[in-house]
Structure 1
Amino acid sequence: MKREITEKPLTSLSMALGAGVLAGIAGTAAITISQLVEMSITKRSPSTTPVKAVSKVLNVKPTRKDKNEKVSQEIHWTYGTAWGIPRGILGLTGLTGWPATLLHFAAIWATELTMLPSLDVAPPITEEKPKDVAIDALHHAVYAVAAGLVYDAIANEV
């Protein structure tokens, strides 16, 4: 369904942003489950990269080192939820379905692949093992697909 800006553009924008936030929550839940399953298989520890990145950007740190994992999860959920907003904006332009999901995935993953190495909290993709790159891409694809399905379901109902 093509979403158009009607005679009430603020209403259209509000609906797209609200549906985007809900889609971001769904995507974050999906990537969290994906990561938990992967960590149980690979025996990988939870990442503290989110807290490292935010610490560098905002020059803040958790009050205690044992809180890094908890703060990382809070950042993970906030960041993932916020990424639903661009999905809503894509829907507002009329782009929906798999094309919007693919563009959303590309934006999310490209941001990670650029931002984290620039903050020195993750190595560049060229220095990662192919298996780790594939796992990371899979997690972000799970996010984008879940967010896209939820956004499109909401947008088709309003």
Structure 2
Amino acid sequence: MKICSRKKTSAMADLGTAIGAGLLAGVAGTAAITVSQMIEMKITGRKPSNAPVEVVSKVLDVTAVSEEKKPKVSQEIHWAYGTTWGIARGMLSLTGLKGWTADLAHFAAVWGAALVMLPSLKVAPPIQEEDPKTIGIDILHHAVYALAAGLVYDMITRKK
């Protein structure tokens, strides 16, 4: 005897699932890219980027309270930005994209946004002015994000 059975879901329930699971996937993707960047910085000796705080300063016309707080604020922005991008992964599922196809589209959206936004705000040079090693590292980090977010999204929304 079945106590509860739900064969159809409403569009609002699907949207809620896409957003909620997307946010969780975004947290996982942000954790993965953060670890990826930490490992890369240890290997290459690169310092953490101030790009998140610079972008927010320009877009919202605000300044940091102090130089000492910039790294902390930059990390907070990094986590909020990455988590929010998880919603895009959820929205892709509503279009019918699933698995690797959705992961690839998510990667293209996230990396593509960075390629357009950062140079337009003069926070990073255009891609044609970057060296191949820097481009490769950037692709790697964004791929780590998209794959981790996609795996978590797919696990959360997997039908039993």
Tell me, yes or no, whether TM beats 0.5: yes
Give the aligned CA root-mean-square deviation in angstroms.
Answer: 1.0
- The alignment covers a number of residue pairs equal to 153
Q: Which amino acid aligns with 2:82?
A: G
Moved more, 59-68 or 22-31: 59-68
In 1, the alpha carbon distance for the partners of 2:100 and 2:159 equals 18
Q: Describe the SS at the equivalent of 2:158.
A: helix
Give, in whole Å, the separation in 1 of the partners of 2:77 and 2:55: 10
- Identify the match of residue 43 of structure 1 among 42, 45, 69: 45
Amino acid in structure 2 at the alignment position of 1:49: A
Q: CA deviation at 1:157?
A: 4.4
Q: Give the fraction of aligned pairs with identical amino acids, expressed as a percent.
A: 62
Aligned to 1:114: 116
Map 1:63-102 onto structure 2 (within 5 A): 63-102=65-104
Distance change >3 Å, CA 28–CA 7, structure 1 → 2: closer
Partner of residue 18, structure 1: 20
TM-score (norm 1): 0.94
Q: What is the identity, as a one-letter code, of the residue corresponding to 1:34?
A: S
Task: Kindly state the Cα deviation for residue 121 of structure 1 after the two structures are TM-superposed.
Answer: 0.6
Q: What runs of 5+ residues in structure 2 fail to find an aligned partner? A: 1-7
Deviations along 1:19-74, one digit per CA (max 9) or x if unpaired, are 00000000000000000000000011111010001100000122111111111000
Q: Which runs of 4+ in 1 moved over 3 A?
A: none
- Using the size of structure 2 for normalisation, the TM-score is 0.93
Amino acid corresponding to residue 42 of structure 1 in structure 2: T
Residue-by-residue CA offset, 1:73-99 (whole Å, 9 max, x unaligned): 000000000000010011122211000
In 2, Cα distance between the equivalents of 1:49 and 1:95? 31
* Alpha-carbon offset, residue 7 of structure 1: 5.0
Instruction: Specify the structure having the higher radius of gyration (Cα).
Output: 2
Alignment partner for residue 123 of structure 1, among 114, 120, 125? 125
